[in-house]
Amino acid sequence: MAIFEKSSEKAVTRAIIAGFTKDMEKFADTDVIVVGGGPSGLIAARDLALKDVKVLIIERNNYLGGGFWLGGFLMNTITIRAPAHKILDELEIKHEEFEKGLHVVPGPLACSKLIAAACEAGAGVINMCSFDDVVLREKNRVSGAVVNWTPVSLLPKAVNCVDPIAFESKLVIDATGHDAVVVKKLEERGLIKTPGFGAMWIEKSEDAVVEHTGLAHPGLIVVGMSVSTTFGLPRMGPTFGSMLLSGRKGAEVAYKLLKKN
Ligand code: 48F
């Protein structure tokens, strides 16, 4: 007596293709594209999806979470400074206070719950997919993302003749961490100038990242460590409170802009 229901190779193949195609068709034209599924991108996507904004996360790795799995130096204890621990409470992630205002939480727990929160809120995800370029419209407004499968983008140029595809959106959020790949693409085109991030100073950097989170160019919002690269702020150090607060602020900025237009 078999344990599982009957099925076949062709049914499994069709189920995969149909499910994926349905999602991709839905997001070909979306409200917001979040490039990068680290902590700042995940919270931004989750907050927007909770407000019924159509949001797609594009992540180059197979896994979401970015640097949020590890606290620093390959040690998986995450540190979060108050008041960002309130977001952990909101997501029902258990944490401890190491010393006044400095909270600790196991990376795998915090990261997996944040990923689940973004997905449960309704954010779409396309993983193993790399941002390649921006879509630009009138007055060089960022209006979407050109993407290709990560394995394709890693092929040597000599054997890579696979055209990318593009998703259109009202807004793009650069949540790609230190690399700030969307911002850098605009810089390559002479539309923006970035100073790159400065030396580590945790006390200053966390506040500065949240303060500078917002519109970097028409149609483009920066959150998380890409804010440091864009505005020349001190690098973060291994603490994540501002990644969560910056992602949340980025979502608020996006929501206001969407309501205005
Ligand atoms: O680096 P990452 O975690 O960015 P973040 O949200 O958080 C930064 C912290 O992890 C840490 C820190 C603060 O304590 O200093 O570094 O700002 O996540 C960035 C995500 O973007 C993806 C990358 O794989 C990662 O998951 N990413 C980077 N380039 C691309 C990309 C690309 N070209 N296309 C798609 N995804």
Pocket of ligand 1 (CB under 6 A): 35-41, 58-61, 66-68, 130-131, 175-177, 179, 181, 224-225, 236, 238-240, 243
Please determine, for residue 158, whether its predicted confidence score (pLDDT) is greater than 80: no
pLDDT in tens, 28-70: 999 999 999 999 999 999 999 999 999 999 999 999 999 999 9
- Tokens 């945790």 correspond to 202
Give the CATH architecture of domain 33-260.
Answer: 3-Layer(bba) Sandwich (3.50)
Average pLDDT, the chain: 96
237 pLDDT tier (thresholds 50, 70, 90) = confident
Query: 43 CA to middle of ligand 1, Å?
Result: 13
Specify the residue with its C-alpha closest to ligand 1, atom 1: 177
The pLDDT, as a whole number, for residue 261 is 78
Residue 160 pLDDT greater than 90, yes or no: no
Query: What is the band of 159 on the pLDDT scale with cuts at 50, 70, 90?
Result: confident
Q: Give the closest residue (by CA) to ligand 1 atom 15.
A: 236
Ligand 1 atom at minimal distance to the Cα of residue 240? 14
Sign of the CA dihedral running 89, 91, 96, 98: negative
pLDDT at 11: 98
Taking residue 140's Cβ as centre, other Cβ atoms within 10 Å add up to 16
- The torsion angle over the Cα atoms of residues 53, 94, 241 and 77, rounded to 10 degrees, is -130
**pTM of the shown model:** 0.97
Residue 258, SS3 per DSSP: helix
